[in-house]
Each structure stands twice: as structure tokens, then as C-alpha cells.
Amino acid sequence: MDSAPAKRRKLAHSEPSSENVLQSATTVGLSKHRIFVLEAEELLEEAAVDYAAAFPGADTLLGEIKTLIEAIEPHEPLPLVEAAHKLEKKHRLKVPFPEPRPPKDCNYKVAFAKPTQFNVVGSYVFKTMVETQKDHAIDMIFVIPAEVLQEKDFLDLRYFYKRAYVLAVVSAALKKKLGADADFSFEYLNGNPLCPILALQPKDKETHQLVDYRIRIIPCSPDAFFPRAKLHLGASLVRRVEEKESGVASKPTPFYNSTLIAEGSFLTYLKIIRQIEKKCAAFKDACVLGRIWLQQRGFSGAVSDGGFGHFEWALLLALLLKGGGDGRGNAVLSTSLKSTQLFKAVVQFLSVTNFAEKPYVLSKSDFEAPPGCGPVIYDADRQLNIVFKMSPWSAALLHQQAKWTRSLLNDGTVDQFSPTFILKTDTPVYSFDLVAKLSHFGSFDHAAEVDSRGKAWQFGSKVYRILKRALQDKELGERARLIHVRTPESPPWQLEEKPKKQKSTDVEIGVLFDPANMARSVDRGPSAGPSTEEKEECEKFRRFWGGKAELRRFEGDTIRETVIWNSTSPFELCEEIMRYILNLHLRIGVLEEDITFNGDELQDLLQLSPADSLVFNTTRKAFADFEKDIRELEDLPLHVRRLAPICPELRHASVKLPTLGPSKSGPRPMETVVSFEASGKWPENLAAIQRTKIAFLLMIGSLLEKAKEGQVKTWVGLEDAKCDTENLAFLDVLYESGASFRLRIHSDLEEILLERQVKDKTQEQHVRTKATTLLAAVRRIHTHLPLHSQTISTFVTRFPALSPTIRLLKQWFNSHKLSTHFPDDFIEIVALNVFLSPYPWDAPSSPNTGFLRALLFLARWDWRTEPLVLDTGGDMPPVDRAAIDTRMEAWRNIDPSMNHTVLFVATSHDATGLAYTSYDGHAKPSKVVATRMTALAKSVSRVVKEEGIALDARRLFVPSLKDYDILLHLNSKVAKSTLKTYPADNSEDVAMDSPERYSRFKNLDERTGKAFLPLAQHPAEAFLDHLSAAYSGALVFFRGTPDDMTVGGIWNPQVQKKKFRINLPTSYKPDAAAAAHDSDDEDEEQGVDVNLNKEGILAEIARIGGDLIEKIDAKGL
């Protein structure tokens, strides 16, 4: 927002402080951005660590350690193996040599000398720690003096052996002196197996510490000790014995080389960051924000956590600020930016530079990265690849995350803050459409690899390369958007032990689908032509796909290499491909349990299949035919303006697939509404309009039967209306083919008359209230639902995963017996919400993620204060959003206890915020039910977080019946029989069901073969509606679908005991205790207590239900 420049002069002398306020108001721009800045400031304040309180005595301890190390007796060079042996024997510890361990016959010597320099580095000195980080560590480095090292030590891990020895000496000395005050253990620096370090955790003296911190003691090499020129990324510095003998050029060792450089760069980078920190005031805050952002996405400096942590963030930011970043020697970022701006700038940088694919070079240089060295951000001045710990997959993930966050930060209409900093987004089941676990390395031989990052990492890397080629590369049509591999962490170990093996050898793989391509079952490879190039291509293809590749002829006479898959759903396809290709190349997956796939239980639950959308489309087609039939009726007095569907079946959103064939029960017609051209012929009276509609329906019915003789049967049905100014009737049209539709007529005059009544202040209040309810009902059916149906239909085609997500979510509401309280359209909007504002992710590409994220949204939605605003049209102006907020605030002010308005949902076509969540003048759901929904969703999110990828999603659908006070068990046989009714053939319809009239034998029964009547309303639904109406004050009923045979009920706790009066909310019995004092006169004045007559009520329910209820279970009776 470019507002006019501030009139500083004038404002300045009137109110000095307002100038500042105005300035910050104008600089930060749009409202949401402004809020983002303010919230980030709050976050920084909140996250700050109180160092004095959190690290009591840390500084003294550091000093002590320094003196102790300096006091260690230096010794003369000794052969490595001998020295190590001696040390191990004397101090009962194991020297943490990196793998492969030094050969027995190595002839070089190690010595110990006083370290030349000590320094505390990292976030402790910069004060950029946050309270919520995983662990708090103070990093202390000491520089191994140059005289202990030799220049050629960079070869063949020699430096690292010496380093390990020095560390062991220091550890032994420290343990001797401080062993009583602290726990000692070895661990790898950032999970890098080349660099073991000593971790020292002070034992709790003053029992409660704010944070558990530890001190990490890190040996490092003198600055630029090794010739950098020899350590370039393409150099091969670890040679194997065989290679040495055979003289074959060995593979480059980029990770090893970069580690060596990094070993000598601690102090240099410390200096750089110090300089920038002084120059740029907001640097520290930007680092804290970056740290939180990374932490919430599961990134850290450790190799297994992506290798991009707080240090890399700070370094990258510092280098971007320092200058020389753009290749011409200028700074990329200005030091006068604010912390949030710096943060956004780094996110922007990460989202546009795809350094996993193309190396990025900071500062001017003619650096050329050799191929195959992974992600590169090259600091040319210090010749270090600062992201050397990253793997191709973590760089891709970081790139993707940055892209998502950037699009979030560009979307000025949503809450930017919580998805960026608050939400924890590293749970794989939320992020990935398919999560698999490999628990067996198969025939993988890691000795063939020279990388130093450990077996699991190398294995993961291999798997990644294969899967990327199979799923993500252009060659085969980009089925996946992202593939992620997660390798296990390396745990710390005790000084006396050998380095622990990684706890589990499981490698986790996450795949993010491209929904448009993942469902494809035929992959077309290169065309098999005669030229050598084509032949080569084919050869490559065959080599990769093995026996699965075959030649096929396609239209246009092209012959191509092809791979055909058998599965149908995206999930199964992906599973099939992964199993096949991993087995082919790595010999894993031969046994079923080598690879476990998680996430398809959900599909099984509903038997979701890609063919479902065909069924829905057929239904749509039937509707189109119906529309044509109606429009073609010739003798209608008015032209049809619009015929619109309003039921979930016709917008791909019903849990059960619509059935078009013959069925065993009465058909349940799909609801539609019709509106005609404007006409002055409607009578100016509501009751008369309703009768006219009936006449109209009768006419349409007979015309339709005449026009499509023999194919169509129509029934005019009566609504369960309470008064004759509401809609009285509908027309059910049953096609021979099995499709059936229900038609209701819209009259524009009805709406106008009702509107007039609502506005008419001379009318009595009850008339106006009634008119308001009726008007809401009319608008819901004839305006809101058609538009909603259209919206959902549009988005279902745009997002393939939307339809199954909606169906899963509805199933969840069903199984927790909530769906009677939630209109279909509300649930659909909730599902749509995770597609339209998916932050911090992208729109879900599978039902699993869609469903889980929808529940996550429900768990986190604070509906007491926030409206759910969904811009379905894509062009909602900010003014409208503000108006919605204001309206919600106004409602909450009028009705703070939320008796009338509870959930507030607004979309582009409904700004009132209540169309989705109110029904018949009541809030639907009520506050109690909405609270229950939130509680259930919260427990789901908790389970998901706890179980991680081992989650069995079926568990989320198991209702807990113990929460209900009463349970009505319906008799399913009787309930089914209510679905079948026959047209009355004479007036004695009451006796129709008496058994004597019809034979027990089906073939003798005169009704056999007669068509069923359609169902005006599902009988179970009608039954529960009546119960709810009769006991609206006393009981709340819970039930899933109408087929649910168990109905739960909860007593309203507020009506347990009352003073006696006329018109009590429900049935009461006199209190026995009160009876004793009944004769007292005082009592009569106060009124006598009466108690809820629970048995009486349940007996009544039993009588109403009759044969339909099998059993009533009641708690506490």
C-alpha cells in the first residue's frame, strides 16, 4: 500500500510520538504484513532465553575447562596405535577413531601439545538461542597446535585420527578432574562421523534448571593449515588400498574435503559473523527467526536433519549482507533492513536459488563445481561449500519449504504468522502423501562407496537416486513433486565404549505426489527408432526398468518403450513402482516386510478408488438428462431459468457412492431446485404461493409422465411442514434407469414477501422472527446451496484429492456420531479450506494428507474468536474481510454465551457468515457439539504426532461410546423394513402393514414386484428429528449416518433439578426430600424442587421407538 507521504512537519510538533508510529505504520504496509511484524516482535521477546538464569555458572565452568586443558602434560610423538593403546589402558576409555579405523601398521606418530587458542563459538556467544530448541549447547573450540600436525595429514583420514587422539587425551584429563560434577559422553559434531567431540553435561546441583544445557568441546585445526587448493570439491583424498595398488583414479570425496576446510574455518566465520552483527542491528533477531523457522520444519545442522541449521542460516545471511554476494562484489542485502525483512529475504533467496541442482557461488569467482558433489553454496573467498552437510533431498525439501513459505508471505489475506513460526510441520504424515520405511539394506554394499557419512546415509542416497529417476524425473512424466529420505540420527556414546551404531537402521522415505500424473498406469519411454541415439536411449531405459520395459505401438504408429503398471489408485501405483524398482536395483523388497508403506488404510476404510469419480460423473450425466427433460416440457406456463443440484451426490461429495441401479429399499431422490423466469402471476400471499407451487409440481409431474411415457414415474410428496407459509411439497421424479430426483420450486415473490415481513417494524415480533427463519431457509435452499454446489464441483475438478478428502472427513464425522449436527456443506467447506489456504504446505495431493490436515485445522481453529473465511471466488476484497471480522465481533458482543451463533463461516458468496452453520433459526452445530468436535480433532492430532508414521489411521475412526449417558440400540431388521413402503392402493392405509393382509410367502404377496415409494425423509432421520424436537431441552442426541444403529445421548446438565412451574423444559418428578416439608407454607412460596424423571423419559422413548428400538442402555440408572 503506497499511501501518501506523511506530513511530518505538522504532526511532529503536535504529538512527537505519533510520528514514529506513523512511520512504522507506513513502512510495514498492508495490515496482515503489519500484524506479522508485530507478532514476530512478540515472538522474539517470548523466545528469548534469559542467559544468566538458564546457564548458571557456565562461564566459570568454561574457564575451568580451559585451565584444565592447558595444564595437560604435553608428550613427545609416539606411533599412533601405540599411543592410543596406552591411553586406552591408562584411562579406560576408547579413542573415538572414525571409520575405517587406522590400520594396525600405520607408521605415523601422534603427540600432544598445549592448544594454541580457545574460543567459545555458536549461538551461546551470539545470544541467539531460543527456549524451545531441542537442546541447548555451548560450543567451545580449541585449536590443535600446528606442531602436532603435518601438512600431508589431509590425506587418508590422518588428520581425523590425530584429532580423535587429541580429543581422547583431553577427555581423559577432564574426566579425571570434573568427573564428579558432570556427565561425559562422545558424540559426532552435527552427526558427522569424521568429527567426534566431547559433550559435558553439568550434573544438577541446584535441582531445577531452566534448561538442560551441555558444553561441547570441539578440537579443530589451525586456520588454513592445509593447502586449500588441494582440498577442492573434486579432489580425491581418501584412497583405498586396492586403488593405490591398481592405480585406478579414485572417486572424489567432496564431503571429506569440505569437512577438512570447515575444521579450519571456525574462527574465520566467527569473525565474519561478529563483524556483521556489529554492522547490522537486526542480524541477531533475523537469525533467531530463521532458527525457529528451520526448527519448525525439522531442519538442523545435523546430517540426518538436513544439514542446514542455525549456523548455516546465520552464515548465509552474514555472507549475503557482507558483500560480494552477487558476483560483482556488492552486498545482496542492506544492513539497514529490519529483522522480518531480512528473514523474508533469506526465505526468498532459498526459494529462488535451487542450489541442489545448480551450484550457487557467493562472491566473485570462476569456481566450477565438479558434477555429483551434491548441493553447493560456495563461499569463494574461503573456498568452502557452506552446505556440504546437506543431501540432495534435504536441499530439495528446503527449497520447497521456502517456496511454500514465500507464497504464504505473499498472500496478504491469511494469517501468516502461525504457519511460519508456530506450526510444527515436520510430521511426515502431514507433509507426504506416501511414507515408507525400509528396514533392510538388501544387497547394498557400502564399502564400494567412499562417502564418509555412514552406511545409512549412503544407502539413502542410493535409494533417492533410483526413486528420483523412477518417479520425479522428466523422462517419466514427473509423478512425484518431492521425494524425501530420512536417515537415522547417530546417538552419543560413553567414553568407555566404541561409537554406537545408529539406533535403528530404518530409512524413511516420503513422497509428495503430483496428483495429475501419479494416477497414470502407462509410462511411455523413448520411441524405438532406428538411429543410434534412439537406440542408446532405449538401451538406457531398458537397463533402468529391467524386464518391465516392453515395446508397444501407440496411435500415430509410434513404437515406444513402455512400462505398464497394474494398480489403479495413486497410492498403490507408487507402492508398486517403488517395490519393483528397489527390488530390481537394490534387491530389497523381496520380502514384504522389508518395506512398509503407511497411509493406505484410509482408502481401504472407504474403499476409495479412482473409479469413484466415474460414478459421480455418471450421476451428473443423469442429472443433465433430467434437466433437459424439464427444459423440454412444452406446456409449462413459465420458462425454466435454472435447474440446480443441491445434494452432495451431485457434487462428488457424498460418503456413499450414488447408486443408479435398482435397490432393495425405497429410492432416496437427489435434491434439486428449479427457478422460473420472473412473473407477476404469483399471488401476493405466502400461503397462496405455496399452494400455487403444489399445483405447479402436479402439473410438471403429469407433463413429464406424458412426455416420457413409461420411463418416468413421478410423485408429489408433502414436506413435514409446521405451517402453511413454508414450502409444502416437492416432486419426486423416478427414472426407469434408477436415477431419481427431487424438485423444489423457487418463487422470487416468496422471498420478497418474507423480506418485507422481516423489515416491517409494525409487525409483531413473533411474526418477524418466523419470517426471518423462513427467509433463511428459502435462501439456504435456493441461493446458498446451488452456489455452494457449483463451487465444490469446480474445485473437485481442479483438485483431484478434494473429493476423497471430503468423503473421508464426512466419514470421520459419521463415525464419531457428529454428522447429525453438522450440515454437509460445512464439512465440505472445511475440507476445501485446506486446499485453498494450505499453508505452511501446498494444496494436498492425496486424501491422506488432505484429511489429516483438515483435522489439524479443526483442532487448531479457535472458533470462539476467529471466523473461517474462504475466498472461493478468488477475488474477495479486503474490505469484505474486514466486514466479516466486524460482523463476527458484533455477534459475539450480542450473544457472548454463543446460544444462537457458534461457528462463523464466510465465503465469497455468503458474507453473512451463518449460511453454513445455522439451520431453522438455530446454530448447527451448537456450542456443546462444536466443543466436542474440537476436542475430538485435538485428540486426533495428538495421536498423529505421537504415533508418527506408524499411525494406523483406522484408529481415528473408532468412536468412544462411553462418553454418552444413554445409548439407543436400534433393531437393524426393523429399521431396514422402514425403508420399504408401497403406495397405498386404497384408503385404509393404516392397516397396510398388518400381517394378515399379506401372505408370508413372497410369491403370493400381491405387493411383490410393485415399485417402492421413494423416501420422503429417511425414517431413522425422521425418528431422531422427532425425538430431538420432543426433548430439545433435556437431551442431545448423537448419530452418524441414518444407517447408524446406535444413537448416543447426553443429558443436559442444566436441567437436572428445577423449581416447579408450568412449562418446564421436560418431564420431572417431585423430589422425595422436598415432599417431607411440603406442608410448610414457606416452601410453597419458594416453589418445590422437582427432579428430572430420567426413567420416565427413557420409557417414553421406548414407547415412541416401539419395535424400532432393541435396547436402551443408560448410565447411572
Partner 1 sequence: MAPCPPTIGEFSVLPISIPPLPSFPRSAVHYLYARRNAPKIPTANDSRSLFLTNVPVDATEIHFRGLFATLVGVGRFESVTFEEERRESHTDTQPAQAARLLAAHSKKRKREHEEAERAAEEVAARIPSTWTRPLRKSGSTAVVMLADDKSVDQVLKAIAKVHKSKKYPSWGSVDKLGAGKAPPLLGSAWLKTHNRLSYPDRDALQASVDAFSELFAKKEQEAAEMAKRLRNEPDEDGFVTVTRGGRNAPASKNEAEEAKRKMLDREEKKKEELTNFYRFQLREKKKEEQAELLKQFEEDRNRVRAMREKRGKFVPES
Site for partner 1 in 659-688 (CB under 8 A): 666, 683-688
C-alpha cell read off for 449: 562407496
Please tell me the distance from the alpha carbon of residue 815 to that of residue 1039, in angstroms, as a whole number.
8
In the chain, the amino acid numbered 270 is L
Please tell me the distance from the alpha carbon of residue 927 to that of residue 352, in angstroms, as a whole number.
46
3-state secondary structure of 137: strand
CB of 28 to partner 1, least distance (A): 8
CB of 436 to partner 1, least distance (A): 26
Please tell me the distance from the alpha carbon of residue 762 to that of residue 610, in angstroms, as a whole number.
58
Closer CB to partner 1, residue 732 or residue 910? 732
Asked if residue 890 binds partner 1 (CB under 8 A), the reply is no
The most distant pair of C-alpha atoms in the chain lies apart, rounded to whole Å, by 117
- Of the chain, the end-to-end C-alpha distance in Å amounts to 66
Which member of 120, 146, 698, 883 binds partner 1 (CB under 8 A)? 698
Closer CB to partner 1, residue 559 or residue 1104? 1104
Which member of 407, 618, 978, 1052 binds partner 1 (CB under 8 A)? 978
Stretch of residues binding partner 1 (CB under 8 A), selected from 35-43, 268-276, 314-322, 652-660: 35-43
C-alpha cell read off for 310: 542455525
Closer CB to partner 1, residue 604 or residue 1084? 1084
Closer CB to partner 1, residue 533 or residue 996? 996
Which member of 954, 1078, 1080, 1115 binds partner 1 (CB under 8 A)? 1078
* Pairing label, strands 434-438, 740-746: unpaired
Q: How far is CA 198 from CA 137, 168, 495, 501, in A?
A: 12, 9, 9, 17
Closer CB to partner 1, residue 296 or residue 917? 296
CB of 467 to partner 1, least distance (A): 30
CB of 932 to partner 1, least distance (A): 22
Please tell me the distance from the alpha carbon of residue 550 to that of residue 542, in angstroms, as a whole number.
8
Which member of 46, 357, 497, 677 binds partner 1 (CB under 8 A)? 46
Site residues (CB under 8 A) for partner 1, limited to 129-168: 130-132
Q: Shortest CA distance to 789 belongs to which of 800, 777, 780, 801?
A: 780
Closer CB to partner 1, residue 284 or residue 742? 742
Alpha helix (H) ranges present in 441-523?
A: 455-467, 515-518
Which residues, in sequence order, are CB contacts of 651 under 8 Å at separation 6+? Answer: 645, 789, 792, 793, 796, 828
Q: Shortest CA distance to 508 belongs to which of 427, 390, 606, 416?
A: 427
CB of 1055 to partner 1, least distance (A): 10
Site residues (CB under 8 A) for partner 1, limited to 406-465: 418, 421-424
Q: By rule CB under 8 A, what string of x and - marks binding of each residue 1056-1075 to partner 1?
A: ----x-xxxxxxxxx-x-xx
Site residues (CB under 8 A) for partner 1, limited to 979-1038: 981-984, 989-990, 992-993, 1013-1017, 1019, 1022-1023, 1026, 1029-1034
CB of 685 to partner 1, least distance (A): 6
CB of 1108 to partner 1, least distance (A): 5
Please tell me the distance from the alpha carbon of residue 386 to that of residue 307, in angstroms, as a whole number.
10
Please tell me the distance from the alpha carbon of residue 92 to that of residue 682, in angstroms, as a whole number.
101
* Beta carbons of 670 and 647 less than 8 angstroms apart: yes
Please tell me the distance from the alpha carbon of residue 955 to that of residue 949, in angstroms, as a whole number.
13
CB of 749 to partner 1, least distance (A): 9
Closer CB to partner 1, residue 60 or residue 987? 987
Asked if residue 879 binds partner 1 (CB under 8 A), the reply is no
Q: By rule CB under 8 A, what string of x and - marks binding of each residue 81-110 to partner 1?
A: ------------------------------
Closer CB to partner 1, residue 233 or residue 1101? 1101
Site residues (CB under 8 A) for partner 1, limited to 269-308: 292, 295-296
Asked if residue 975 binds partner 1 (CB under 8 A), the reply is yes
Closer CB to partner 1, residue 531 or residue 893? 893
CB of 39 to partner 1, least distance (A): 6
Closer CB to partner 1, residue 624 or residue 984? 984
Site residues (CB under 8 A) for partner 1, limited to 745-764: 752, 756
Site residues (CB under 8 A) for partner 1, limited to 931-970: none
Closer CB to partner 1, residue 7 or residue 628? 7
Stretch of residues binding partner 1 (CB under 8 A), selected from 124-132, 202-210, 595-603, 782-790: 124-132
Element (H, E) at 1103: helix 1094-1105
CB of 686 to partner 1, least distance (A): 8
CB of 27 to partner 1, least distance (A): 11
Q: Calculate ∠ Cα 707-625-713, nearest 5°.
A: 45
Q: Find out whether the peptide bond into 840 is cis, omega within 30 degrees of 0.
A: yes
Please tell me the distance from the alpha carbon of residue 941 to that of residue 889, in angstroms, as a whole number.
29
Q: What are phi and psi of 563, to 5 degrees?
A: -120, 130
CB of 1029 to partner 1, least distance (A): 7
Site residues (CB under 8 A) for partner 1, limited to 614-653: none
If you write DSSP's letter for every residue of 1015-1064 in order, what string do you get? PSS-HHHHHHHHHHHHTTTTEEEE-SSTT--EEEEEE-GGGSEEE--SS-
Q: Shortest CA distance to 477 belongs to which of 537, 419, 521?
A: 521
Which residues, in sequence order, are CB contacts of 762 under 8 Å at separation 6+? Answer: none
Closer CB to partner 1, residue 126 or residue 1012? 1012
Q: What are phi and psi of 1031, to 5 degrees?
A: -115, 35
Sign of the torsion formed by the C-alpha atoms of 151, 155, 158 and 164: positive
Site residues (CB under 8 A) for partner 1, limited to 534-573: none
Closer CB to partner 1, residue 250 or residue 1052? 1052
* Beta carbons of 356 and 375 less than 8 angstroms apart: yes
Closer CB to partner 1, residue 459 or residue 730? 730
Please tell me the distance from the alpha carbon of residue 282 to that of residue 758, in angstroms, as a whole number.
58
CB of 1092 to partner 1, least distance (A): 10
Closer CB to partner 1, residue 72 or residue 1013? 1013
In the chain, the amino acid numbered 263 is E
Please tell me the distance from the alpha carbon of residue 856 to that of residue 956, in angstroms, as a whole number.
13
Which member of 47, 172, 859, 936 binds partner 1 (CB under 8 A)? 47
Q: How far is CA 737 from CA 618, 619, 667, 1009, in A?
A: 12, 11, 12, 16
Which residues, in sequence order, are CB contacts of 661 under 8 Å at separation 6+? Answer: 738
CB of 525 to partner 1, least distance (A): 45
Closer CB to partner 1, residue 45 or residue 557? 45
Q: By rule CB under 8 A, what string of x and - marks binding of each residue 709-728 to partner 1?
A: ------xxxx-xx-xxx--x
C-alpha cell read off for 85: 593403546
Q: Shortest CA distance to 346 belongs to which of 373, 366, 318?
A: 318
Closer CB to partner 1, residue 567 or residue 1052? 1052
C-alpha cell read off for 865: 474468536
CB of 733 to partner 1, least distance (A): 13
Asked if residue 48 binds partner 1 (CB under 8 A), the reply is no
Which member of 22, 48, 211, 466 binds partner 1 (CB under 8 A)? 22
Site residues (CB under 8 A) for partner 1, limited to 466-505: none
* Pairing label, strands 670-676, 740-746: parallel
Closer CB to partner 1, residue 614 or residue 1075? 1075
Q: How many residues of this chain interact with partner 1, rule: CB under 8 A? A: 124
C-alpha cell read off for 339: 529483522
